[in-house]
Structure 1
Amino acid sequence: MSEARIANAQPQDESATRRVRAALMQKVNGDEEMFALGGSIARVIELADADEPGPHDLAYFVLSDVALTQRILRLSNTVRYRTVSGTAVTTVSRAIALLGFDNVKTTALAMLLVDTLDNGAHAGSVRVELEASLCASLVGREMAKLSFYQGAEEAAIGALFKNLGALLVASHEHARYREINQLAAAGKHTPAQASQMILGCSYDTLSAAVLAEWKIPDVIVRAQAALPPGTLKTAGSRAEWMRQVASFSLEVARLLGRHGGPEDAAATPEARALLARYGAAFEIDAKALERLFTNVAEGMQGLMESMNLQPLPKPEPEPGDGLPDVLMLATLDAGEEEEGAWPSGKPKNARELLLAGVQDVTQLRANGKARVNDVILAVLETLYRALGFRFATVCLKDARAGQYRARVSFGPEQARVQAGFVFPMSAPGPARGGRDLFLLAMDNDADLMISDAASPKIRELLPSWHRALLPDAKSFIVLPLVVGKAQLGFFYADRAQLAPEGVPPDETAMIRALKRQVLAALAAG
């Protein structure tokens, strides 16, 4: 960039810089993918583990995206998180239990950013900023472990979005991004000053503005604000601490991105400068900082593996502009082959998936900490994924209301169908006066696997509420949950296609093994 161009970038032309900033915000807000990203991010952030439905809602959100499901499962099976027994984690429910609710929540947010901001035209620059964002979120997670503040885990989210401004400019205004980098590389301006000159606002201000537009909670928006210069004191509030963590996390991410291993990074003048600025505020010394670097580097390796992203090579200047060498984003999920499926949608490797689910649920119960709801959710997810169902739910008895009512479910239009999946415990059957299929299954404790729901003899046993709610259900299963003589409810799952392939004996045995785990949990709980 020429000296004349730099001079023209100075803030005296305020109207020009404001137009640049306004144009960028308009571009971001008008981009359909970015609009959808904002909605998805807001939805994930509002999921709270303080409420009973929290883990289920998060599991459902992840399961609604096949690619996201695969990446969360891959992450939970990396060396860093793999269970002591070496048993593979095959359900999102188990992944949440293993990784932790907040860990999965932040990881899902990071993966949403990767998916949406993969920009083929400027992939190298976008990738640099994505890696900085992902790494910052891991630093924030490590810092949360050291904090006494309630809800400290939110710091990982604040840190993840600290770099959002740079990420959006790299993706949507790459020419401006190059200008900012060139101005900062000259050494006379910080990135904040350079972005202020080129955009009319700093990267931090842009990050906060976009997050506010997406209706992200204020505490996360405020965490994007710049800190005063110089040595920092211990934060006087959780909000101030989150601001400190967000800034520190991005600085650590930048430092680790510039150097090889954590040991090399810890020995640099930049690391000493970090300690001088943040050491007193966070009560960390050189050894603690090096441990932090090591933990973050290990976490980053697992996160990159889970998304099939190869690490970027060390940045090298391009002739004439000082930008990193362009490296196209690795294709997400590259090389993965989908297993074959029957026309009904049932995977042909259902046996292997069921077996893995049985092992998963057995291990979940073996640790002695799983609640009944955790076991039910893990079994429901296994049935849903392993057998390729369109809709799956667990229906439990509400003795006070005299009804059976769906409690949790997976599948398209899950909320609508679940709301309608309610019927009296002593409801009359079809018009001919016989009892309905669901009550017959409960009374006889019979596991039903219906391959053709349209056959006359089956259809006449289907209650009117089921025919109205799920008119296109062509095949389904009903697995009663009966402990002693107490009829507690049942699992139900269906497809919109016939399932003539049926369920062979080995699969049946594993389905019943899953059901026995639930019955044992119900009896014990």
Structure 2
Amino acid sequence: MTQNKTHAGQASTIEDDLLATIRSDQDLPALGASISQIVQLSSSDDESIRKLTYFVLSDVSLTQKILRLSNSVSFRAESSKAITSVSKAIFLLGFNTVKTCALAILLVDGMPGKKAEYVRYELVYALAASMVSRELARYSRFSDAEEVVVAALFKNIGRLLLAAYYPDHYQDITALIRQGSHTPAQASRQILRFDLDSFAEKVMLEWEIPASIVKTLKMRSADICQPPKSRLEWMQQAVDFSQKAAPLVLGTEQSLNPDLEDTLLLQFGKALDMNKTRLNALITNANKETKAFEINTGLRSSDQKKEIRMNAGAAELNFETGENLLKELTFAFTENEEAPSPQCYPSGKPHHAARLLLAGIQDVTEIMASGKYKLSDLITLILETFYNSLGFRFITLCLRDQEKGQYRARSSLGNDYLTYQKAFTFPLAISTDIFHLAMKKNMDLIISDASTDKVRNLLPKWFKELLPDARSFIVLPLVVNEKRIGLFYADRQTEAPEGISSEEMRLIKTLKAQTITALHTR
């Protein structure tokens, strides 16, 4: 990419050039689409929980990082047991926590040039600011306060993209700021002839980030902020505070300024109900959470990871005094140390299916014993257990709907699951197809090869039209005292000659029993 360091005559086009470059990058539009998809999920919508679960599950790398982060000291819930499923992570840590973790991981993984020191600097800074805002959201009196975490994460997206695509301009701006002669906004306007915060708004709108989040970037400057009169005003103050408090989290040279804490408390103390004790606690927690993110997103080297383990109780990063701010904020990049993918049969079924099923049963048992769960969340966990443990393409729980006179898919996971779920219905009227026969005899069916004449003769027309490529599948009827409640259906696009072992079948029946118990007690 050609870069022009002559600002005269070129300045008016830098913004357009940067936008054009971003749009032409093959990876960034996909990143923007993924971010938009996650941001718009709401914790108040049961379907959003399934969408978030499947979004994470559909990306092996993202799943591994979410589970590692969920089991880190900084994010670990009160439960002493390891979190082994995305559904359990959502149950224990909360929908919004997993959602914002996924967004942060997507941003780091999807950002081009993250090996460059300036890009790493902005990524780490964004993570630190978002963790500060996460702490603020915990005691906010406003509803959906967790949105502020997303806003803080993307507040510096303009600087981040400039560092990735126009590093020379980025360095020029940094130099002006370090001289103390310009504020960040003044420096960007002098070098670029446009404001990076305004540019960030354009990018976020292009990525279809909700306007309620984008508006938080427009902070009215005030020497002393007053208590917010609206949720938007609180979010604007919280985002601004998070950006300015990030140096304290990272232990940079800015944090060595003895007046920084006092300046923050003077400007935001009254508005955010902040005193020195609360500020110190907030910074300590945000520091630990930021470290956890750095480790799990590959922004911290192996040597630094060892240092963290040896000094787990430290509240601040132990940086030596560097030559400049960038050296203090920059972490040596290493490729992510991904856990090896579990060995699977050609069908996709993991070799250690029994162990995965058992772990899922233990998760379901723990959550049911707590009594603090929604039935829909528990069903999603059961579906995820089947889906992961047996390597399915699609799985659904189909329940009896007396009013509509049909069995109807109610909750599903897998590839294009919403399309399949909508059409997965069949009449209550008794038939000789494979689904009615399974429920009539209360018999679990494990079909290793669905292409045989014996099986195809039992498949109803609607099934052949909906899932013509199903090559192996299971049907698990849910029957209590000869009353047919419904069934689990799950399939693969390949044959599964390995079948199901007796131990796996025992565990499958246990999950079925847990499902029936949950359906009858909720």
TM-score normalised according to structure 2 size: 0.91
Residue 30 (structure 1) shift: 2.9
For residues 405 and 123 of structure 1, the distance between their equivalents in structure 2, rounded to whole angstroms, comes to 52
Distance 1:348 1:464, change over 3 A: same
Which residue of 99, 108, 114 corresponds with 1:114? 108
Correspondence for 1:357: 360
For residues 323 and 282 of structure 1, the distance between their equivalents in structure 2, rounded to whole angstroms, comes to 30
Distance 1:77 1:224, change over 3 A: same
Residue 229 (structure 1) shift: 4.2
Q: String of CA shifts for 1:256-304, please: whole Å, max 9, x gaps.
A: 22449xxx95983212221121112112111110010111112223333
Between 21-30 and 149-158, report the one with greater CA deviation.
Answer: 21-30
Q: String of CA shifts for 1:440-498, please: whole Å, max 9, x gaps.
A: 11112211111121222222111111122112211111111223333221111111111
Supply the AA of the counterpart residue of 1:484.
Answer: N
Is 2:395 the counterpart of 1:385? no
Distance 1:29 1:317, change over 3 A: farther
Supply the AA of the counterpart residue of 2:284.
Answer: T
For residues 268 and 513 of structure 1, the distance between their equivalents in structure 2, rounded to whole angstroms, comes to 60
Aligned positions of 1:30-429 closer than 5 A = 30-119=24-113, 123-259=116-252, 268-310=258-300, 314=319, 323-324=326-327, 327-332=331-336, 334-426=337-429, 428=431
For residues 303 and 481 of structure 1, the distance between their equivalents in structure 2, rounded to whole angstroms, comes to 42
Correspondence for 2:464: 467
Does the 8 Å CA contact 1:315/1:324 hold for their aligned counterparts?
A: no
Q: String of CA shifts for 1:385-433, please: whole Å, max 9, x gaps.
A: 11111111111122111111222222222222222211112264xxxxx
For residues 323 and 365 of structure 1, the distance between their equivalents in structure 2, rounded to whole angstroms, comes to 49
Does the 8 Å CA contact 2:109/2:297 hold for their aligned counterparts?
A: no
For residues 88 and 94 of structure 2, the distance between their equivalents in structure 1, rounded to whole angstroms, comes to 10
Which residue of 29, 46, 70 corresponds with 2:23? 29
Distance 1:49 1:171, change over 3 A: same
Between 503-512 and 122-131, report the one with greater CA deviation.
Answer: 122-131
Does the 8 Å CA contact 2:122/2:159 hold for their aligned counterparts?
A: yes
Supply the AA of the counterpart residue of 1:290.
Answer: N
Does the 8 Å CA contact 1:452/1:475 hold for their aligned counterparts?
A: yes
Does the 8 Å CA contact 1:380/1:393 hold for their aligned counterparts?
A: yes
Distance 1:57 1:266, change over 3 A: farther
Correspondence for 2:313: none
For residues 238 and 95 of structure 1, the distance between their equivalents in structure 2, rounded to whole angstroms, comes to 28
**Corresponding residue SS for 2:384:** helix
Does the 8 Å CA contact 2:248/2:255 hold for their aligned counterparts?
A: yes
For residues 211 and 374 of structure 2, the distance between their equivalents in structure 1, rounded to whole angstroms, comes to 33
Say how many residue pairs are matched.
503
For residues 349 and 307 of structure 1, the distance between their equivalents in structure 2, rounded to whole angstroms, comes to 27
Does the 8 Å CA contact 1:394/1:409 hold for their aligned counterparts?
A: yes
Structure 2: gaps of 5 or more residues: 305-317
**Corresponding residue SS for 2:46:** coil
**Corresponding residue SS for 1:232:** coil
Distance 1:186 1:280, change over 3 A: same
Residue 251 (structure 1) shift: 1.4
Does the 8 Å CA contact 2:449/2:496 hold for their aligned counterparts?
A: yes
Structure 1: gaps of 5 or more residues: 429-434
Does the 8 Å CA contact 1:372/1:518 hold for their aligned counterparts?
A: no
Does the 8 Å CA contact 2:300/2:331 hold for their aligned counterparts?
A: no
Residue 314 (structure 1) shift: 4.1
Is 2:445 the counterpart of 1:455? no
**Corresponding residue SS for 1:344:** coil
Does the 8 Å CA contact 1:234/1:280 hold for their aligned counterparts?
A: yes
Q: String of CA shifts for 1:55-91, please: whole Å, max 9, x gaps.
A: 1121122112111111111122122343545222111
**Corresponding residue SS for 2:439:** helix
Residue 316 (structure 1) shift: 7.1
Residue 336 (structure 1) shift: 2.0
Is 2:475 the counterpart of 1:484? no
For residues 256 and 212 of structure 2, the distance between their equivalents in structure 1, rounded to whole angstroms, comes to 31
For residues 31 and 159 of structure 1, the distance between their equivalents in structure 2, rounded to whole angstroms, comes to 24
For residues 46 and 96 of structure 2, the distance between their equivalents in structure 1, rounded to whole angstroms, comes to 15
Does the 8 Å CA contact 2:128/2:286 hold for their aligned counterparts?
A: yes
For residues 468 and 234 of structure 2, the distance between their equivalents in structure 1, rounded to whole angstroms, comes to 54
For residues 339 and 398 of structure 1, the distance between their equivalents in structure 2, rounded to whole angstroms, comes to 39
For residues 465 and 242 of structure 2, the distance between their equivalents in structure 1, rounded to whole angstroms, comes to 53
Between 172-181 and 219-228, report the one with greater CA deviation.
Answer: 219-228
For residues 488 and 208 of structure 1, the distance between their equivalents in structure 2, rounded to whole angstroms, comes to 51
Residue 335 (structure 1) shift: 4.7
For residues 217 and 327 of structure 1, the distance between their equivalents in structure 2, rounded to whole angstroms, comes to 32
Percent identity (aligned): 42
For residues 85 and 273 of structure 1, the distance between their equivalents in structure 2, rounded to whole angstroms, comes to 39
Distance 1:366 1:301, change over 3 A: farther
For residues 414 and 176 of structure 1, the distance between their equivalents in structure 2, rounded to whole angstroms, comes to 46
How well do the aligned residues superpose, as a CA RMSD in angstroms?
Answer: 2.4
Distance 1:222 1:231, change over 3 A: same
